[in-house]
Amino acid sequence: MTGTRRASISSVQRQLRVGYNRAARMIEAMEMAGVVGPLENGKREVLAPAPPE
HSE (CB half, 13 Å, CA atoms) of 38? 0
Element (H, E) at 22: helix 20-32
Beta bridge partners of 45: 6
Q: What pLDDT is stored for residue 42 in this prediction?
A: 77
pLDDT tens for residues 22-42? 999 999 999 999 999 998 887
Fold of 6-46: Arc Repressor Mutant, subunit A (1.10.10)
Q: In terms of pTM, does the model score above 0.85?
A: no
CB 12 within 8 A of CB 19: no
